[in-house]
């Protein structure tokens, strides 16, 4: 099964995404800030990370920058899920594989996940 890390300082959001994505067949780990997420990502080596932008201790942008600077985890795709910072993320396509503007339909999340995970699978790497 595919492992995903969800990062958001809003517990309701991490709880909902964890429940929803586990129901869809994913293994999900959650963190409530970028600093804790970075440690978690290094531990569980997820296929993908979904992060909010505005969080304490380390923003989603800072998390993506830290991941890109780490050769062990730099290839893990990051989806930014944000209500206010989508434009900032779109200005940094080298950091974010996709941007979902909150609120987004859950179908859009599932389609984005499937596309990114499929593109990252060993048989599809270029």
Summarised one tens digit per residue, pLDDT across range 5-58 is 999 999 999 999 999 999 999 999 999 999 999 999 999 999 999 999 999 999
E strand spans, 2-114: 3-7, 27-31, 48-51, 78-82, 98-101
**What is the residue extent of each domain of the chain?**
3-105
Strand partners, 28: 4
Distance of CA 70 to the CA centre of its chain: 16
Topology annotation, domain 3-105: Rossmann fold (3.40.50)
User: Whole-model pTM?
Assistant: 0.91
DSSP label at 82? E
């Amino acid at each position: 099964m595919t492992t995903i890390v969800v990062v958001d300082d809003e517990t309701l959001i991490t709880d909902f995404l964890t429940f929803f994505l586990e129901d869809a067949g994913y293994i999900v780990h959650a963190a409530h800030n970028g600093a804790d997420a970075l440690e978690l990502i290094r531990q569980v080596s997820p296929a993908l990370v979904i992060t909010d932008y505005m969080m304490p201790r380390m923003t989603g942008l800072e998390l993506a920058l830290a991941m890109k600077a780490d050769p062990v985890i730099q290839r893990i795709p990051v989806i930014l899920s944000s209500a206010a910072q989508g434009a900032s993320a779109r200005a940094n396509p080298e950091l974010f594989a996709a941007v979902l503007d909150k609120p987004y339909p859950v179908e859009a999340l599932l389609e984005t996940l499937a596309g990114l995970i499929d593109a990252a699978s060993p048989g599809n790497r270029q």
